[in-house]
């Protein structure tokens, strides 16, 4: 069961540079930066009502986000939905033949469980599922 849009991911070359617009331009408050070495990415969140904006900065040249930046430049990267159970959603999507990047839930930012659905199965939008979705 989908609960809400949890966050919108934005790929950036540098969180230090990108945060200026969100903080000074939009007046938002940034969370502490968190390194996710397993995904070779560092992230920071801005809470906007019930939804968050997530800045994603690659930690290595071979990171998925680095490849995205090389191909597309900075910009919208993915949409993440909070679900009651990532495992249940993956089972449902697998039964429908939807192409998954993650066959099983894995750790995301701030203690969440996450999984990605491949953009070729979603009309071109990289789609993430997360469980708990607090990201606080």
Judged by CB under 6 A, does residue 124 bind ligand CMX?
yes
Nearest-angstrom CA–CA distance, 27 and 48? 10
- Nearest distance in Å: CB 43, ligand CMX: 6
Q: Which range touches ligand CMX (CB under 6 A), out of 18-26, 44-52, 81-89, 101-109? A: 101-109
Residues 6+ apart with CB under 8 A from 50: 4, 5
- Work out which of 78, 89, 131, 135 binds ligand CMX, going by CB under 6 A: 78
> What are the b/e assignments for 96-126, b being 16+ CB within 10 Å?
eebebeeeebeebbbebbbbbbeeebeeeeb
**Which span (25-33, 81-89, 91-99, 112-120) binds ligand CMX, by CB under 6 A?**
112-120
For residue 132, give both structure tokens: 């708990």
Binding stretches for ligand CMX (CB under 6 A): 9, 39, 41, 54, 56, 64-65, 67-68, 71, 77-78, 101, 108-109, 114, 116, 118-119, 124, 126, 128
């Amino acid at each position: 069961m989908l609960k809400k849009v949890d966050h919108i991911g934005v790929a950036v070359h540098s969180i230090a540079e990108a945060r200026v617009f969100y903080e000074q331009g939009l007046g938002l408050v940034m969370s502490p930066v968190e390194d996710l070495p397993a995904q070779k990415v560092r992230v920071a969140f801005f809470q906007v009502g019930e939804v968050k904006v997530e800045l994603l900065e690659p930690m290595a040249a071979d990171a998925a986000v680095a490849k995205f930046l090389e191909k597309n430049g900075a910009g919208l990267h993915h949409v993440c939905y909070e679900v009651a159970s990532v495992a249940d959603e993956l089972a449902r999507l697998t039964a429908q033949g939807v192409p998954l990047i993650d066959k099983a839930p894995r750790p995301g930012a701030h203690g969440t469980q996450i999984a990605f659905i491949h953009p070729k199965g979603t009309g071109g939008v990289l789609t993430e599922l997360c469980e708990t979705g607090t990201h606080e």
